[in-house]
Amino acid sequence: MTQNVVIFGATSAIAADVARHYAKRRARLYLVGRSTSKLSRLVAEIQPYVVGSAQQDFDRTEEAEACVQRAVAALGSIDVAIIAHGLLGDQQESESRVEVAEQIARTNYLSVVALVIPLANQLEASRGGHLAVLSSVAAERGRPRNYTYAAAKSALNTYLEGVRSRLYPSGAKVHVIKLGPVDTPMTEGHTKSLLFSRSSDVARQIASVIESNEFQVYVPRYWRPVMFAVRNLPEFLFQRVSGLSGR
């Protein structure tokens, strides 16, 4: 059965690979991204599976509902909605400039909620479908190197827990994908360790999570035991482990 899939943040490296994955499965795609040039290249690459696309500044939260409605109009209905945009931001700047902290919070939390509200209403009314949101393992614990970003993702995870329970009677599914670090332009400049994943591998795992109806999953899955240990490490030990509490 052909699926109708909308991807918000489609010009990010991971989301573009997710779009390619669904195109290989002959899904009908509607793509929304911030970069016009990247979006045009992606659309050209995976035609004829793209039924529509749109450039969108996700921080313009007042436009989110209309953005979702355009996707619904193009697809007819939504089987899978994926929200993949985000902003790592500059942690140290966010500690001294409130406008930087506000930007990180707006992009990673408020702009996502602005899309989730109309998408959840749409899926609830249609009594089915999947909403998948890319989050981060960073949300598991505040660390000096990224705690502004982590706090926004943590708030988002809590919000999505509520949406998931609210939609449960309708049959609609809500998936939170807790990503470990991925080698993408977003992490450019960061020292790459063996724990970094490839975008194409992550994309396949995201689609697998949606298909298997799992609601809260670490991707790659080896992050589950790692983050269990990090989350439960006593504070007096946590602060003595430079790999966790260092910059």
What phi and psi values does residue 131 have, to the nearest 5 degrees?
-120, 115
Q: Within its chain, how far is the Cα of 138 from the centroid?
A: 13
This prediction has a pTM of 0.92
pLDDT at residue number 160:
98
End-to-end CA distance of the chain: 48
pLDDT at residue number 189:
56
The number of folded domains in the chain is 1
pLDDT at residue number 244:
85
Domain around 216: 4-245
DSSP 12-52: SHHHHHHHHHHHHTT-EEEEEES-HHHHHHHHHHHTTSEEE
Longest dimension (CA), the chain: 56
State the DSSP code for 60: -
pLDDT at residue number 66:
98
Stretches in the chain below the pLDDT threshold 50? none
Q: Within its chain, how far is the Cα of 225 from the centroid?
A: 21
Contact (Cβ atoms closer than 8 angstroms) between residue 91 and residue 85? no
pLDDT in tens, 78-119: 999 999 999 999 999 999 999 999 999 999 999 999 999 999
For residue 25, what is the domain's CATH number? 3.40.50.720
Give dist(CA 143, CA 84) in Å, integer: 23
